[in-house]
Amino acid sequence: MAKKRRPTEEVDTDLNLTPAMNLILILIPLLLTAMEQMKLAVINVATPQIGPASEVPPPDQAPDEKPLKLTIALTDRGMHLYARDQVIENKDDPLGPTIPKKDGEEIIDGKPVPGKVYDYDKLTQMLADIKDENPVEENIIINAESHIKYRYIIQVMDASREKKDGDKKRSLFPNVVLAAGVA
C-alpha cells in the first residue's frame, strides 16, 4: 500500500537580520556624534628649575663662554630677544623692541581687525640665525607682560620650534621654558 507522504515544507533559510540591523542603526548615530571633529595636539612646556646653578659647563661649550639663555619677552610693542643676558638690539630702533610689531590683522573676539601684529616670520628667521651659531642649543625661555594673551604665547612657541626651508623642516628651539612675566 502506497503511503501518502506530506510534501516537504520549504525551509526559510534567510537570516533574521532585524536585531543586527537594530544594533547597527543605533551604533552608527552614536559613533557619528562621538566622532572627533578636531584633532588635538600638545606642546611640551617646562617651568624653570629651581636649584643651584651647574658649575660644570656642557662638554661642547667653551669654559669661559656664558650659557646662551635665549629669551623672548613679549610686550605690547613687540618681541624683545635676549641672548647671554644681553638684549639683541634692533639696528633701526636701538631703544625699541628687537622685533617690533608690524601691520596686519589682529583677532579680537574671533574676528580679524586691522591692527599691529607680532612678526613671527622675522622671529623665525632671527632664531634660525642664532641656531646657526649655536647648533646644539635647544632651549628657549618665553615670558610676557601680564596682559599678553595666551594665543600669542602659543604662536611664539610655534614660530620658535622650527623653520620651513622649502619642503624641509629645520628644528630650532623646541624645548620651551615658561618664565614669570615681564615686570
Q: Which residues of the chain form contacts with another protein (CB under 8 A)? A: 2-5, 7, 14, 17, 20-21, 24-25, 27-28, 31-32, 34-47, 74, 110, 143-151, 153-155, 157-158, 161-162, 169, 178, 180-181
Q: What minimum distance in Å lies between the beta carbon of 52 and another protein?
A: 17
Nearer to another protein, 76 or 93 (CB): 76
> 73, exposed or middle or buried, with CB in 10 Å at 0-12, 13-18, 19+?
buried
Nearer to another protein, 32 or 53 (CB): 32
> 15, exposed or middle or buried, with CB in 10 Å at 0-12, 13-18, 19+?
exposed
Q: What minimum distance in Å lies between the beta carbon of 11 and another protein?
A: 13
Question: Given the C-alpha cell 601680564, which residue does it identify?
Answer: 146
Q: What minimum distance in Å lies between the beta carbon of 157 and another protein?
A: 7
Cell matching residue 175: 624645548
Q: Using CA atoms, how far apart are residues 124 and 122, in angstroms rounded to an integer?
A: 5
